[in-house]
Structure 1
Amino acid sequence: MGRTPTIDRDKVLDLAEGILLREGTGGLTIDAVAKAAGISKGGVQSRFGTKNDLVRMLCDRWGQEYEDQFDRLVGEKPTPIQAVEAHIEMSLDLDQADKARAAALMAALIEFRGHIAGLREWYTTRLAALAPDSQEGRRARLAFLATEGAFMLRAFGCIDPTEEETRGLTADLRALLRGAV
């Protein structure tokens, strides 16, 4: 009797992400993922569930990558200012691949509105750490929200700043954070 085949979770998620990036949410189907992975549709469904579940796993993986990078930059207990500085750096220092991933993630979140709750929780946690009862907290909150706006505009291709413009925006946000604007 042969060994039960295993499905490499990360490999399948990589393939699903590739499909999402190339073909958008409409092209991301269980069948397309199964074909790309060389496994049965039933195998994908048994390991990953529905397309919605697959998108949730991609979002969870992207979120964990963000958290890991964030922790490497600021450590365990960053101040609100340090946390927002790291967020500015991570959100605005994107290459083309990162921008494409961000746009794909946003498109998937729009299509699968059930995932908005997790994103809302993430934002609630981040904003709660930026207490609006102090000047520093208000500056941090404003810089955070401005960073998110710039991130979204870039991710959706509404703006395409040059590297120099991005460096200038990053410097402006950091100055805002320190009260130097």
Structure 2
Amino acid sequence: MPATTTDDEILRCARSLLIDGGYNGFSYADIAAAVGIRKASIHYYYPTKVDLVRALVARYREEADAGFAEMTRRHPEPVDQLRAYIGFWADCILDGTNTFCLCALLATQIPVLPPEVVTEVKAYFQVLSTWLAAVLENGREQGRFTFSGTAQTEAEKFMAAVHGAMLSARAYSDPAVFTLVTDPLLEAITA
């Protein structure tokens, strides 16, 4: 595993602070204190908070895209790909390491986010939606899934249900709520 750089530590900390308190819930002083560096060091990498959050969301999207490719590679069956996607979030919620999708959280704040960050958040949702639609269409073509409408519409519904389940689990402080919502998702489309 490569050594963690100051840049990586800044982004890791910013991600945690964003998930805990939202875009306006942290400052460079918070990051500096947590990482053990001066605020000027953060400004060296990210002159503004917009630059920082935009870079964080871009990296998050790239990591997600790589994760989708890995799920597709490891799980040839479309139903297993969807199980792996849901399972990833179920595990994160259970162990408390990553209890909410960063972009889903930021999407709730779009009215107050800078346009550059909004663009990155929307790009993440497009990547996720495109991957889900491809998985769903592949499953339908193989006779594994059955649903009315387009794969794109089903992908949007699936994505909304998973993110809603994260929100409910967080609101109730109960990881079991996530699976209560997500378990029936696959049953509903499995042929």
TM-score w.r.t. the length of structure 2 is 0.64
Write out per-residue CA displacement over residues 63-98 of structure 1, whole angstroms, 9 at most, x where no aligned residue: 344445545544268454443332232344432443
- What pairs up with 1:123-142 in 2 under 5 angstroms? 123-129=128-134, 130-131=136-137, 139=147, 141=151
Aligned partner of 2:98 in structure 1 is 98
Structure showing greater Rg = 1
2:23 alignment partner, one of 5, 20, 25: 25
Q: In the alignment, which of 138, 163, 166 is matched to residue 155 of structure 1?
A: 166
Alignment of 1:86 onto 2:84: yes
Inter-CA distance 97–173: structure 2 relative to 1 (3 Å threshold) = same
Query: Could you tell me the percent identity over the aligned residues?
Result: 20
**Structure 1 residues 86, 48: closer, same or farther in 2, change over 3 A?**
same
Question: CA shift at 1:122, angstroms?
Answer: 0.6
TM superposition shift of 1:26: 1.2
Would the alpha carbon gap of residues 108 and 51 (structure 1) be closer, same or farther in structure 2, given more than 3 Å must change? farther
Q: Gaps (5+ residues) in structure 2?
A: none
User: How many residues end up aligned between the 2 structures?
Assistant: 172
What is the root-mean-square deviation of aligned Cα atoms in Å? 3.8
Where does the alignment leave 5 or more consecutive residues of structure 1 unmatched? 1-6
**Alignment partner of 2:14 out of 7, 16, 32:** 16
Q: Which ranges of 4 or more aligned residues in structure 1 deviate by more than 6 Å?
A: none
8 Å contact kept, 1:34–1:40: yes
SS of the residue corresponding to residue 156 of structure 1 reads helix
Match of residue 53 from structure 1: 51
Q: Which residue among 173, 176, 184 is the counterpart of 1:172?
A: 184
The answer on whether the counterparts of 1:88 and 1:170 sit within 8 Å (CA) in structure 2 is yes
TM-score, with structure 1 as normaliser: 0.66
2:125 & 2:21 partners in 1: Cα distance?
26
Structure 2 SS opposite 1:39: coil
Given that residues 145 and 189 in structure 2 are in contact (C-alpha distance below 8 angstroms), is that contact kept between their aligned partners in structure 1? no
